[in-house]
A and B are shown apart, each in its own frame.
Chain A
Amino acid sequence: MAVKKFITGSFYDEEVLFPAVKKVRRAGYKIHDVFTPFPIHGLDSAMGLRDTSLHTAGFIYGITGTATAVGFITWALTVDWQINFGGKPFFALPAWIPITFELTVLFAAVGMVLTFCYLCQLAPFVKDHFNPRSTDDTF
């Protein structure tokens, strides 16, 4: 098995970090990861990371919420147990918009946060540590 070698570096300013990232990649080395105390725009593309598809996941969760709400309410009020509310139609779609909307948002938000935690392997009692100052002022 080939031996993998890792070299680490730390910087005190993101303006020094950027040229360094570019130089290292130009020299043909792969950058494993960069730990930063705050999000630095453009660093992901400089490192050659592809875009996250978390948005798409969120959209799918949202649609699931919409479908769940409309499907369930339709079934409950028109098939399972019809109740006559003042002679109004059983299939009262306009009155279901609020709940449909709320469930769309709820599913999308909860689903996305769980996906985010899963992808980043974030959970209570996870211990992952590299440089304690990378959450303060070191890059």
Chain B
Amino acid sequence: MSLLRYESQVRPALVEGDKDYHQVTEDICRPVEAKPSKLWWIGFLISVGLLIFGIISVIMEIMYGVGQWNLNKTIGWGWDITNFVWWVGIGHAGTLISAILLLFRQGWRTGVNRAAEAMTIFAVMCAGQFPIWHMGRVWDAFFVLPYPNTRGPLWVNFNSPLLWDVFAISTYFTVSLLFWYSGLLPDLATLRDRAKKKWRKMFYGVASFGWTGSTKHWQRHEALSLVLAGLATPLVLSVHTIVSFDFATSVVPGWHTTIFPPYFVAGAVFSGFAMVQTLLVITRKVLGLEEYITIEHINVMNKVIVLTGSIVGIAYLTELFMAWYSAQPYENFAFFENRLNLNSPYGWSYFIMMGCNVLSPQIFWFKKMRTNLTVTFFMSILVNVGMWFERFVIIVTSVYRDYLPSSWSTYYTPSIWEVGFYMGTFGLFFTCYFLFSKFFPVIALAEIKHILKRSGENYKEKMDVIDKESVDQFAEEQLHDHH
């Protein structure tokens, strides 16, 4: 056992400071058990305010119909679907961190996976709002489900990417929720056993499902997480692939391309990691968890951002190349007149996208930038602005000047209720996140304890003497021994 625990000194510690198991419990449970700070209340109330604005916007839309939005003849999908794709994309990082990195045995995921999974669930909840309310007659939303009905029975069209979306998003939400919650059980049990107040005992008692920590239960729990991770990995790739099919299977120039699935998935991971950075830079500071979400974590995630940002950049260039190389006049027009041309009505949005997504993340080639919190925070916002514009560019610039020049004149700007709806999802997202950070442990307790003796700073120091002596010294000794 002790041999297996060995980890190279070259790797920085994932848990800093002098910790034992009890100290880890104390540190992570502290924010949950303490009274919420003033900062928490301010943030929470702003989020609730935004949520109320969103609810009013949606009520306006229900009462007066989709006409409340400034959609027009050629732009039937505007901000609404842009926001949908944007939120779904953000919702990819959590499962990627928890599932793919679990399969790859990346130890650093333990510090950030819980918060990232929670973020995923909230982001998917926000994303789901858009197609639902976009239906207009939302009381008929259950028509998307295949159930025996009085219309024939006329089944839903299983060949349609829009229906694939229904299945993909709802499956993704369910599986992410199960994955997240089954991981939470042991940690909720810890909170239950520490609870002093009656309502806390009740609340965490119910929430932890009577978890005891029995070895047999752990064995099954491990098997469950591993299989769920194995299932979630192709699932996370499939979800954004299917979202991209909404566009790619159509015959609209600018949408009809085979590059979309990998390009969308890379973009999703890119924006998701950026959102994780935004949240964690704040969370670690406010909740005092700097020793668990270390600079090293931020550094590693910034590496993922520069990688995926560059993949997205290559995809953009490939698209341009294919538009030119295909010599297809409509394709050519969509890319070189509607997008790349700065003098065209929406040319500016294409250049914002390029600047934020492709150029700006390149500063993360420098370690100094990757480990700088201010730069990271600023960049994480910039990336998400860029990724929002990517979806806007794809959705709006492909259709606003279509085959029929007589319908070209209308310039699409969102109405106040479209903006309000979008702001409202921010409200929903952050309200959920604030509640989560107050009532649930934001770091996976049991998993940190699991890696503590391998990657904790104080344990690493004691690990092995051989690893501590300098390489030069070692080489010299060897030289003397052999000659």
Residues of chain A having any CB pair with chain B under 8 Å: 15, 18, 33-44, 47, 49, 51-52, 54-55, 58, 62, 72-73, 76-77, 80-81, 83, 85, 88, 92, 95-96, 98-99, 101-103, 105-106, 108-110, 112-113, 116-117, 119-130, 132-137
Q: Is B143 an interface residue (CB 8 A)?
A: no
> When A52-B219, A109-B174, A113-B182 are in contact, do A134 and B213 touch as well, CB less than 8 Å?
yes
Expressed in whole angstroms, the minimum distance between the Cβ of A71 and any Cβ of chain B is: 12
Interface string of B160-195 (1 = CB under 8 A from A): 010110011001001100110010011001101110
Q: Which of A37, A51, A92 contacts B21 (CB 8 A)?
A: A37
Q: Is the CB of B216 within 8 A of A44?
A: yes
Residues of B contacting A135 with CB < 8 Å? 186, 189-190, 192-193, 211, 213
Q: Is B210 an interface residue (CB 8 A)?
A: yes
Tell me which of B133-141, B227-235, B294-302 binds A.
B227-235
Chain B interface residue count, Cβ-Cβ cutoff 8 angstroms? 65
Q: Is the CB of A15 within 8 A of B221?
A: no
Residues of A contacting B212 with CB < 8 Å? 35, 128-130, 134
Can you report 6 A-B residue pairs in the complex whose CB atoms are below 8 A from each other?
Answer: A33-B215, A37-B213, A98-B167, A102-B168, A112-B228, A136-B190
Q: Is the CB of B174 within 8 A of A108?
A: no
Residues of B contacting A47 with CB < 8 Å? 215
Q: Is the CB of B193 within 8 A of A133?
A: yes
Residues of B contacting A123 with CB < 8 Å? 209-210
Q: Is the CB of A102 within 8 A of B2?
A: no
> When A33-B215, A44-B219, A130-B212 are in contact, do A98 and B450 touch as well, CB less than 8 Å?
no
> When A55-B223, A98-B164, A122-B209 are in contact, do A39 and B238 touch as well, CB less than 8 Å?
no
How long is the Cα–Cα vector from A96 to B158 in the complex, in angstroms?
Answer: 7
> When A110-B174, A122-B210 are in contact, do A136 and B215 touch as well, CB less than 8 Å?
no
Q: Is the CB of B190 within 8 A of A40?
A: no
Interface string of B192-230 (1 = CB under 8 A from A): 111000000000011101111111111111111001100
Q: Which of B171, B190, B205, B218 contacts A106 (CB 8 A)?
A: B171
Residues of A contacting B189 with CB < 8 Å? 135
Q: Is the CB of A122 within 8 A of B152?
A: no
How long is the Cα–Cα vector from A134 to B189 in the complex, in angstroms?
Answer: 10
Q: Is the CB of B446 within 8 A of A37?
A: yes
Expressed in whole angstroms, the minimum distance between the Cβ of B158 and any Cβ of chain A is: 5
How long is the Cα–Cα vector from A108 to B157 in the complex, in angstroms?
Answer: 24
How long is the Cα–Cα vector from A34 to B212 in the complex, in angstroms?
Answer: 10
Q: Is B343 an interface residue (CB 8 A)?
A: no
Expressed in whole angstroms, the minimum distance between the Cβ of A86 and any Cβ of chain B is: 10
Q: Is the CB of B210 within 8 A of A33?
A: no
> When A122-B185, A124-B207, A137-B21 are in contact, do A49 and B224 touch as well, CB less than 8 Å?
no
> When A112-B228, A135-B193 are in contact, do A98 and B245 touch as well, CB less than 8 Å?
yes
> When A37-B190, A81-B155, A83-B157 are in contact, do A105 and B231 touch as well, CB less than 8 Å?
yes
Closest to A124 in B: B206
- The 8 tightest CB contacts between A and B, nearest first, are A126-B210, A137-B21, A132-B193, A122-B209, A98-B164, A38-B446, A95-B159, A38-B449
How long is the Cα–Cα vector from A52 to B227 in the complex, in angstroms?
Answer: 12
Q: Is the CB of A38 within 8 A of B447?
A: yes
Q: Is the CB of B210 within 8 A of A127?
A: yes
Expressed in whole angstroms, the minimum distance between the Cβ of A33 and any Cβ of chain B is: 5
Q: Is the CB of A128 within 8 A of B21?
A: no
Q: Is the CB of A54 within 8 A of B213?
A: no
Closest to B446 in A: A38
Residues of A contacting B215 with CB < 8 Å? 33-36, 40, 43-44, 47, 49
Interface string of B351-374 (1 = CB under 8 A from A): 000000000000000000000000
Residues of A contacting B20 with CB < 8 Å? 137
Expressed in whole angstroms, the minimum distance between the Cβ of A89 and any Cβ of chain B is: 10
Expressed in whole angstroms, the minimum distance between the Cβ of A122 and any Cβ of chain B is: 4
Q: Is the CB of A77 within 8 A of B158?
A: yes
Residues of A contacting B242 with CB < 8 Å? 98
Closest to A32 in B: B214
Residues of B contacting A83 with CB < 8 Å? 157
Residues of B contacting A92 with CB < 8 Å? 159
Q: Is the CB of B446 within 8 A of A33?
A: no
Q: Is the CB of A73 within 8 A of B158?
A: yes
How long is the Cα–Cα vector from A34 to B218 in the complex, in angstroms?
Answer: 10
Closest to B175 in A: A109
Residues of B contacting A42 with CB < 8 Å? 1
Residues of B contacting A40 with CB < 8 Å? 215, 218
Q: Is the CB of A113 within 8 A of B224?
A: yes
Q: Is the CB of B221 within 8 A of A33?
A: no
Q: Is the CB of A106 within 8 A of B175?
A: yes
Residues of A contacting B218 with CB < 8 Å? 36, 38-40, 44
Q: Which of A15, A33, A41, A137 contacts B216 (CB 8 A)?
A: A33
> When A15-B1, A55-B227 are in contact, do A127 and B168 touch as well, CB less than 8 Å?
no
Q: Is B34 an interface residue (CB 8 A)?
A: no
Expressed in whole angstroms, the minimum distance between the Cβ of A124 and any Cβ of chain B is: 5
Q: Which of A110, A126, A129 contacts B209 (CB 8 A)?
A: A126
